[in-house]
Every structure is written in structure tokens, then in C-alpha cells.
Amino acid sequence: MHKIGVFDSGVGGKSVVAAIKQAVPDLEIVYAEDPDNVPYGDKTPERLIELVIPKLKELESQGCEVIVVACNTVTTTIIKEVRRQIKVPIVAIEPMVKPACELTKSNIVAMCATPVTLKSPRYKELLKTNAKNVKVIEPDCSDWSCMIENNEHNSDIIEDRIVEACEKGADVIVLGCTHYHWIEEEIKQIANRYNAMVIQPEQAIINQLKRVLEQL
């Protein structure tokens, strides 16, 4: 049985673990998070390197053969450094700009992500390459990771931001932070009223993980 590590700042990656377990039951999964420093969505890249690399090295030293970085904030800011310092294969989640731009019919997409992800050069690069004729709006989700991490669910805030995005014409809503996977059903119910779709990357991550596992 293969052993893999999954990492996120907090509870976001646990939704990814649940999806992986369902799709690939025959796996030992070690989960690592950073309860002392979550949320990551307000940290500098330098700070993220300090926090994340030791956690991933720990997973490596526990014998994980692959590490899933289930955190868009980490991927979009420091993935190069992660790949430089970590020797096992890395499967990394990043905001689904390309699929969203391919799916949209209104040419308006809403990207829900942390402030650090939205500021990152990698995200800007994804926009530049894939969103030439598509307007990508960025609802203010800056308080969502904390809300979800601390179990302080606030349906009014979620409703407000998603309705606003749909009323601006977004027909594809991207969950660009794994914490938001926990409120996917709620977001879908709101988006359904506007015939907008909600996408998140778990299936893509599972496919990529399977490819990597086959090559071990």
C-alpha cells in the first residue's frame, strides 16, 4: 500500500483527503496542517516558506512517497521553492482559471480565493494565459478561511458574495481555496438560482495523483 502526505494550513485539505479516500481507498494518508499559523491567506511568501517547508519535510521523513499540497495559497506563492527542497513527487492544487475560462458562456468568471492567492504572480500568469477574453471577478472572500476554520459559519456573508458575483454575470464560480470546498453545497444552491456552475479541483487532483502513483 502506498503512503502519501496531504498538507494544508487547516481544514481545507481534509475535504481533499475525503475525496482521495473515496477514489483511491487503498492508500495510507498522513495529514499535516498548521493550526498555530492558519490562515495562510494573509502571510508573505517568505513566511510561508518558513512555515511550510518543515511541515513537508516532516511528511517526507515519515515515508510519504507523494505529497499533495492541498492549498492554493501555498501553490501559487511558493511552489517553486517547495519543489526545489522536497524530493518526493508533489501534486499541487492551483486555481482553476483555465477550465473556468473554457466553461464560461457569459465570459465572466468569479474566482473565490484568498488575498495572497489573488495577489500571487502565478495567479496573474494564469489569468494572462487563459483569460484573454474573459473577465474574472474576485469576490471578497478574505474572511472565509477563518470563518470555516473556526466553525463560525455565516450564511448571509456567503449568500451576499455569491449573489453579487452572479448578478455581475458570472456563470462559473471557482472555489480557489480548499477551505471553501466545505461550503460547496451551499454555494451551489445559491449559484443554481442563476444557472451558474461551481467548480473545484478535487477530481483533477485525484487524476493527477493516480498518474503519479502509477509511476512509483
Looking at 25-33, 66-74, 118-126, 127-135, which segment touches ligand DGL (CB under 6 A)? Answer: 66-74
Note whether 107 and 133 are within 8 A (CB): yes
One character per residue 192-211, x = contact with ligand DGL (rule: CB under 6 A): --------------------
Subset of 143-202 contacting ligand DGL (CB under 6 A) = 145, 177-179
Subset of 8-47 contacting ligand DGL (CB under 6 A) = 8-10, 12, 38-41
- What are the strands, taking DSSP E only, across 48-196? 66-69, 90-92, 108-112, 135-137, 172-175
The identity of residue 113, as a single letter, is A
Asked if 71 is an active-site residue, the reply is yes
26: nearest Cα among 49, 44, 1? 1
Least distance (Å) between residue 171 CB and ligand DGL: 23
Q: Alpha-carbon distance 213 to 123, whole Å?
A: 27
CB nearer to ligand DGL: pick between 72 and 104: 72
Looking at 2-10, 19-27, 132-140, 155-163, which segment touches ligand DGL (CB under 6 A)? Answer: 2-10
| Active-site annotation holder among 112, 141, 166, 177 | 177
Least distance (Å) between residue 97 CB and ligand DGL: 14
Q: Alpha-carbon distance 118 to 95, whole Å?
A: 9
209: nearest Cα among 65, 11, 60? 65
Check binding of 95 to ligand DGL (CB under 6 A).
no
| Active-site annotation holder among 64, 71, 101, 112 | 71
Note whether 31 and 6 are within 8 A (CB): yes
Asked if 146 is an active-site residue, the reply is no
Cell triple for residue 153? Answer: 459559519
Buried b (16+ CB within 10 A) or exposed e, 23-55: eeeebebbbbbbeebbbbbebebeebbebbbeb
Cell triple for residue 116? Answer: 495572497
CB nearer to ligand DGL: pick between 96 and 212: 96
Q: Alpha-carbon distance 48 to 81, whole Å?
A: 10
Least distance (Å) between residue 216 CB and ligand DGL: 25
Least distance (Å) between residue 182 CB and ligand DGL: 10
Q: Residue numbers of the site for ligand DGL (CB under 6 A)?
A: 8-10, 12, 38-41, 71-73, 114, 117, 145, 177-179
Enzyme catalytic residues: 71, 177
